[in-house]
Amino acid sequence: MWATRCIYRSRRQSIHFRTGLHSTVLHKMQKFVNDPKSCCILQALRAVSTYSISPVQNACWRMDIAAAVNGLGNKAIDDNASQTPHDGKHQEMEAKMKHLNLSFAACGFLGIYHLGAASALYRHGKKLLKVVKAFAGASSGSLIATVLLTVPENIEECTKIIYEFAEDTRKLYFGALTPGYDLMAKLRGCIDSILPPNAHEIAENRLFVSVTSAKNGKNHLLSNFASREDLVKVLLASSFIPLYAGISPVEYKGQKWIDGGLTNGLPILSVGRTITVSPFSGRLDICPQDKGRMDVYAKVAKQDLLLSTTNLVRLHQALFPPGQEKMKSLYQEGYDNAIHFLLKENWFE
CB count, 10 Å around CB of 338? 28
Q: Alpha-carbon distance 178 to 180, whole Å?
A: 6
In this structure, are residues 136 and 145 in contact, taking their beta carbons and an 8 Å threshold? yes
- Which active-site residues does the annotation give? 139, 259
In this structure, are residues 176 and 183 in contact, taking their beta carbons and an 8 Å threshold? yes
Instruction: Name residues whose C-beta falls within 8 Å of residue 120's C-beta, 6 or more positions apart in sequence.
Output: 334, 335, 336, 338, 339, 342
Give how far Cα 314 sits from Cα of 76, 171, 309, Å.
54, 20, 9
Q: Alpha-carbon distance 258 to 264, whole Å?
A: 12
Q: Alpha-carbon distance 268 to 319, whole Å?
A: 24
Beta-strand (E) ranges in the chain?
7-9, 39-41, 100-104, 132-138, 207-213, 219-222, 250-252, 255-259, 273-277, 297-300, 303-306
Q: Positive or negative CA dihedral for 224, 228, 231, 233?
A: negative
Helix, strand, or coil (residue 213): strand
Q: Positive or negative CA dihedral for 327, 329, 335, 340?
A: negative
Burial degree of 209 (CB within 10 A; 0-12, 13-18, 19+): buried
Q: Alpha-carbon distance 161 to 193, whole Å?
A: 10
